[in-house]
Amino acid sequence: MKTITGIAVAPGIEIAQAFVLEQFRQRVPHHLVVPEERPGELQRFEEALAAAQADLAADHERAETDLGPEAAKIFEFHLGLLQDPTLLTPIRAKISEDGTNADFAVASSFSRIIDQFNAMGSQVFRDKARDVLDLERRVLDHLMGRSEERLSRLNKPVVVIAHELTPTQAASMAIEHVVGLATDAGGRTDHTSIVAAALGVPVVVGCHAITEHVNDGDQIILDGQAGQIIIQPDEQALEKFQVAKERLERFRTETAQEAEAEAITRDGTRITLLGNIEFPREINQLLEYGGEGVGLYRTEFLYLTSTEDPTEDELYEQYSSALKMLDGRPLTIRTLDLGADKHTQQQALEPERNPFLGLRSIRHSLRHLPMFRRQLRAILRASVEGPLRIMFPLITTMTEFKQARMVLNDVADDLREEGVAVRPDIPVGMMIEVPSAALMASTFAREVDFFSIGTNDLIQYTVAVDRSNERVANLYSAANPAVIRLVKNVIRAAKRRGVDTSLCGEIAGDMTYTMLLIGLGLRSLSLVPAQIPRVKQVIRRVTLDECEKLARRVGAFESQRRILRVLREETKRVLPEADGGWNAD
């Protein structure tokens, strides 16, 4: 039995056989082709290229059906690469002019580009190398006669183990049989994680060398909450995690039945539960789970999956569709949070050395005004379809907020001059994601209509920990006393000014923190839709007095370990049947 720890991406517990994807670069034969046979060899390449392009188109269609149109845009990017003359022209020249066999011409040309990207030492370029490698495999599969698709032939539940999982491989999976994913590489924001969220299975990434320790058919326990993989578990571990798995499934079934109940404490305090979404299609699930609107609509995905920025009309269709689906419920749109390891670094000729402290979020938008104005025009055009709020991300200074609001007002004036209807008095707010904004909350409260506390980044910047780095992941905790004090400061400042405040970080959906957040004064939480029923269960079993006493109690602690222990004890006291909702420890 061996335990490997990685980065938890999607929660859940699964026990199944391992399905290991070979990730090695296959050996390709090399020989010269006589001049009279070169046209036929070139034709063989063209046919393989056309077949690979057809496969990509089919995968695009399948991904659109299974995962939605947004996730399918990844394959539009791949199709563009496989039609790029800078990639294809050298291959054709090697075959027709140098007499290289098609297989080796493809492998050597793709390998040169892959090696160049890998040598650049940046995660962004390594991601590009993975995309090129995926395309190389497609073409070589057709040239060398290996057309079997192991992933598409799955017929039993498996945990897929891979060095990395390309979008192509993810789309080709028989998703009804994939119950979990674990990879050597990756982080929370890469393609694997995006696809995993759409699949709805537990996922652990960043496991380093898990592919070196797992063989096809090995029994695997995957704990997507604790970020652990247990290989060939003994009977004791199997029994322990089977109990935890059954308890978690039973709890999920029970909580789902309370989706329609109101989120009101036992003494009558109402808590508004909203949803965090990336795609309009998630709204149906949000409503099924009892969500009352959208508290955070992340708008980056259309940018992350295409080589070209979406048009104003494409953005408008997304936003207006979301408002129509909500049917009068509120929609809070966060403007573009591009930067760091996302779109800007992929497109930059020289990626930033430390992008998380660089030109990201509102800074990026204010530096790229045509793109920012295009998004704001689409948002304002859609505003007439329902109650909408606009939220600016990663505000650190008052100047940034005023500049962003000035651009928004200017865009609104332009639209009205053009005769385009715009909803009057749209609330405009900001995310509190950095300590400077939290400390200056009372000043910001004079200018904003609402706050949304984004604890994911707030924790990261407060404790100086990259939450995607498993070496220091244990230091990343919302139970850190400094984080709690900053959240408390924001809530108090907002209350004094009468500013509506919500919290949209991951802890909003973690039952461990529900009582604390209510006790600190929050009356609105925005979370992953599937988490709404279980958080609602906690709310309905506590009183406001209990929550406030808990907040005062942990507020005096100096140890995050002690704070976390007390929060867990209180939550288990209130909801003992949810014990399996955390992990099997």
Q: Mind telling me the catalytic residues?
A: 191, 504
Amino acid at 300: E
Helix/strand/coil percentages in the chain, nearest 5: 55, 15, 35
User: Cα–Cα distances in Å, from 382 out to 148, 238, 436, 459?
Assistant: 46, 52, 33, 33
Angstrom distance (rounded) from CA 462 to CA 95: 57
Question: 253: which residues sit within 8 A by CB, 6+ positions away?
Answer: none
Count CB neighbours of 574 within 10 A: 18
H helix intervals, 82-190: 85-96, 102-119, 123-143, 167-172
| Residue 555 burial (C-beta neighbours within 10 Å; 0-12, 13-18, 19+) | middle
Q: Structure tokens of 334? A: 């966060």
Angstrom distance (rounded) from CA 502 to CA 274: 9
Residue 28 near residue 140 (C-beta atoms within 8 A): yes
Q: What are phi and psi of 235, to 5 degrees?
A: -60, -35
Amino acid at 559: S
Angstrom distance (rounded) from CA 82 to CA 89: 11
Return the closest-CA partner of residue 401 out of 409, 392, 412, 410: 392
Angstrom distance (rounded) from CA 266 to CA 30: 75
Q: Which residues of 148-184 are buried (b: 16+ CB within 10 A; e: fewer)?
A: eeebeebeeebbbbbbbbbbbbbbbbebebbbbbbbb
Angstrom distance (rounded) from CA 333 to CA 316: 12
User: Cα–Cα distances in Å, from 349 out to 85, 111, 113, 120?
Assistant: 20, 21, 16, 12
| Residue 391 burial (C-beta neighbours within 10 Å; 0-12, 13-18, 19+) | buried
Amino acid at 203: V
Angstrom distance (rounded) from CA 420 to CA 464: 45
Residue 182 near residue 6 (C-beta atoms within 8 A): yes
Angstrom distance (rounded) from CA 394 to CA 336: 10
Angstrom distance (rounded) from CA 231 to CA 220: 5
CA 466 to chain centroid, in Å, comes to 15
Residue 252 near residue 200 (C-beta atoms within 8 A): no
